[in-house]
Amino acid sequence: MTNKIKACLTGFFLAMLTGAVAAQELPRSGSIKWHTGWRLAGETLDVAEGHVQGHGSVVGTSFNDSGSGPLHLGPAECVYTFYSNGEKVTDKGYCAFGDADGDRIFTDWTGNGKDGTSGVNVIVGGTGKYEGITGKGPWFNSGGTGKNGGWKTFQRLDYRLP
């Protein structure tokens, strides 16, 4: 058997296994802890002396902290805005966090603080196994942006399903 065929078969069986793991029943309430690696792209505007505004988007991949389960190996896509007066940063945005099987949780998030690196996600909807989900939880960024706009965020959602 050629290496190419072996690689294809291995990929097929891993995809089947990942789908079976991702489709597991989600408890009706609990906490999801995960981290996301992002690439940030945005624009910053100096609107007056000491006043800065900006907007942009971040895209990345999420990993459940336990190594499997909700929001593991799924896409993460967010848009954001911010304002800073030199003393305080206020952030606002919306995110869509997914699973390997395509189900999504949508959040409306806020952040504040001198460095704008922490805040709260509030769940506003979901698809698939997350349909009807509600809840909220904290997020915080670890370190600053990387050399090419890289960023890592740690998050937790305390949720309830209908």
Output the pLDDT for position 55: 97
Q: Report which DSSP code applies to 65.
A: T
- Name the nearest CA neighbour of 98 among 27, 25, 36, 21: 36
Dist CA 40 CA 58 (whole Å): 4
**142, pLDDT greater than 70:** yes
What average pLDDT does this structure show over 7-32? 59
Between 119 and 18, the higher pLDDT residue: 119
C-alpha span between 103 and 122 (Å, rounded): 17
Residue range 89-123, pLDDT digits in tens: 899 999 999 999 999 999 999 998 666 689 999 99
CA distances (Å), 127 to each of 99, 123, 161, in order?
10, 12, 12
Residues 50-93: pLDDT tens digits? 999 999 999 999 999 999 999 999 999 999 999 999 888 899 99
The full set of domain ranges for the chain reads 26-160
Q: How far is CA 158 from the centre of its chain?
A: 15
Is pLDDT of 32 > 60?
yes
Q: d(Cα 90, Cα 92) in Å, to the nearest integer?
A: 7
Q: What is the pLDDT of residue 21?
A: 44
Superfamily for domain range 26-160: SO1590-like (2.40.350.10)
